[in-house]
Amino acid sequence: MSFMKIPIASDHAGYSLKSYLINHLEGTGIEFEDFGTHSEESVDYPDFIHPVAKAVDEGIYEKAVIICGSGQGAAMTANKYPGVRAALCWDTEQAKMTRLHNNANIIALPGRYINFETALEAVKIFVYTGFEGGRHLNRVNRISVRL
């Protein structure tokens, strides 16, 4: 089985979900590089999200998983990098469509608001779904254009 290395990071509010994902996806073809945090002690999510987003932006990793309480702050932080397209996903359909149509390279999950089993399936779908290209390519290319 070929393994895909995926960086994963969370703040304290996403720590339980991050641990769940790592434990349940180990040995399935997805191997995680854990960027922290490593407990439920209160931390600032940008401290953990920036290194993951930077690594994706620099091409070190193709895709990543980030988690905070709402998922919003994590996505906002990651999207500061021009090569990042972080998508907040609450369900499996969003995870699928953001890969197919938006070529998202980071999935942001709301640790306080998503069922862990749904998050698990969303991550699997996100990791293994390709970009459809075609009519969506021009739109995706225009995301990083500075006006």
Q: What is the pLDDT of residues 4-24, one digit of tens each?
A: 899 999 999 999 999 999 999
Residue 110: name the closest of 130, 87, 140 by CA: 87
Q: Are 132 and 100 in contact (CB under 8 A)?
A: yes
Quote the tokens at residue 42: 């209160």
Catalytic residue (choose from 24, 38, 50, 101): 101
pLDDT, position 143:
82
Query: What homologous superfamily is domain 4-143 in, according to CATH?
Result: Sugar-phosphate isomerase, RpiB/LacA/LacB (3.40.1400.10)
pTM of the model: 0.95
68 is known as an active-site residue? yes
- Select which of 12, 24, 38, 68 is catalytic: 68
Looking at residue 1, its pLDDT comes to 44
Q: Are 104 and 127 in contact (CB under 8 A)?
A: no
Q: Does the bond joining 118 to the residue before it have cis omega, within 30 degrees of 0?
A: no
- Mean pLDDT by runs of 10 across the 147 residues of the chain is 83 98 92 96 98 97 98 98 96 97 97 97 96 88 71
